[in-house]
Amino acid sequence: MILVWLMLILFVGGIAAWLSESRGSHIPRVIALFAILLDLALVVLMLVAPGVLGLADVGTEISHGHGEWLVLFQADWIPRFGISFIFGADGLSLLLIFLTVFLGMISLGAAWHEIKERSGFFYFNLLWTLAGVIGVFTALDLFLFFFFWEVMLIPMYFIIAIWGHENKEYAAMKFFIFTQVSGLLMLLSILVLVFLNYQATDLLSFSYFDLLGNGLSGEIGMLVMLGFFVAFATKLPTFPFHNWLPDAHSQAPTAGSVILAGILLKTGAYGLIRFTVPLFPDPSELFAPFAMGLGAFSILYTAKVAFAQTDIKRLIAYTSVSHMGFVLLGVYAWNAQALQGAVMTMLAHGFSAAALFMLAGGLQHRIHTRDMDKMGGFWGVAPKMSFMLLFFTVAAVGMPGLGNFIGEFLVLLGSFQASVTATAFAALGLVVAAVYSLIVIQKVLHGENENNYVFEDLTFIEMSCFSLMMIGLLWMGLYPQTMLDMAEPTLRSLGIAFP
């Protein structure tokens, strides 16, 4: 029931924030802060003291047929069609739920002084997006999963369309079309999978547990699997389904960019790990060489495109696509090191990308431009902001001692066992990333401040947010075993052999 409470707190908090809009902009944000902090407290208790909430420890999960779960909630919903409320959390889900709530708090900090108009409706959309994401990470009924997949997208559309920048309507509609079309393709695949499973077993069910081991293979299995893959690859995103991301990021408000980069992209990676490969093992094995090649190409192609950008938010957006290519590579290598690396990359990228977008949004809010050609010499103007930009840029490149390095190193180590060629091309992406990162540092922090910009350095709230993300990346880089141990039981349950 704790998982249901996590979502209900955010749903109710969002409605309360919207209803309090008439009382000023400060009341909705306080309500949103209270809801997120309450959720964060519950998630931390689940991580450090599960016994207080009556949950199993990470090492003693609840067995349930296929896999093991820290907490599992089941109730009938539409039994006539085999649809149920099934929510479950294992180590992987819990890590991603923590990332969601934590970055939800960071996005609230980014919006604290930026959002002044219709703030109640903004925080309503923010909290409902977070609730939808938690639903995606915990739903184990495929119809319920699709329901939450839609719940998290619609509020994000409004965040971009209402509080975005100069081309916000275009970016919001592009985001909506890409995600909706791919989502409907996934829904069609879900329905076909359930129907074929019903024909084979005479059991009408949308339950993840009942659909595992469905035995779909051949041409029909490949087509149904591709429906899931396209939906998740669009959200990840990877080439050629990535075109919506740069526009959405560049036009979204800072808080929207934090949620998009830090959280929503991870739902695509989670879907590949939890649903696509386990539900379709044989088609996925046949598709793996192509998927790994796509991941390697995405790493190099979007890194190259990043060179051509002068808009700092678009550049960071393309680098996000490049880094997510490592996740795709790791998932389809499908061995212990590669999958552990994919999980670590998801978590570390959540921190580093969210921080970079928050810095870019903070710069735009202060100097009213995203054009790096108009920047320069900011180290002397705002030393704290400059230091944070330097730190998180270096982190995103994969500096040893930080979380991104651990993730990408493990992915390359694992993918080398599956495809030497794809791994070699992916490794070139690290070299390219170092070059365009140096260009960003040079253009923004060094040189001459030709436009004579003078602006406020980081506020206390911003410094607090960046410091927390910095600590998170250092923890992941210096003691990654915390996260690796939590994810290991999940990966074992998916059939991954650990030494």
Contact 267, 238 (CB under 8 A): no
Contact 142, 169 (CB under 8 A): no
| pLDDT tens readout for residues 352-400 | 999 999 999 888 888 888 888 888 888 888 899 999 999 999 998 888 9
Give domain status of residue 61, yes or no. Answer: yes
Give domain status of residue 296, yes or no. Answer: yes
Domain count for the chain, please give it: 1
Give domain status of residue 252, yes or no. Answer: yes
Q: Which residue, 203, 57, 40, is CA-closest to 127? A: 40
Give domain status of residue 405, yes or no. Answer: yes
| Alpha carbon distances (Å) from 173 to 128, 160, 178, 231, 306 | 19, 9, 9, 17, 23
Residue 225 — very low, low, confident or very high, per pLDDT cuts 50/70/90?
very high
pLDDT at 118: 86
| pLDDT tens readout for residues 79-132 | 888 899 999 888 899 999 999 999 999 999 888 888 888 888 999 999 999 999
Contact 377, 448 (CB under 8 A): yes
Residues spanned by the domain of 430: 2-493
Give domain status of residue 498, yes or no. Answer: no
Q: Give the C-alpha separation, 364 to 255, whole Å.
A: 13
Residue 313 exposure: Cα atoms within 13 Å on the Cβ side:
31
Output the six-digit token pair for 76: 């009938």
Q: Give the C-alpha separation, 68 to 260, whole Å.
A: 30
| pLDDT tens readout for residues 126-170 | 999 999 999 999 999 999 999 999 888 899 999 999 998 888 889
Give domain status of residue 195, yes or no. Answer: yes
Q: In this model, does residue 452 exceed pLDDT 90?
A: no
Q: In this model, does residue 52 exceed pLDDT 70?
A: no
Give domain status of residue 327, yes or no. Answer: yes
Q: Give the C-alpha separation, 287 to 293, whole Å.
A: 10
Give domain status of residue 437, yes or no. Answer: yes
The angle subtended at Cα 164 by Cα 159 and Cα 167, nearest 5°, is 130
Arithmetic mean of pLDDT over the chain: 88
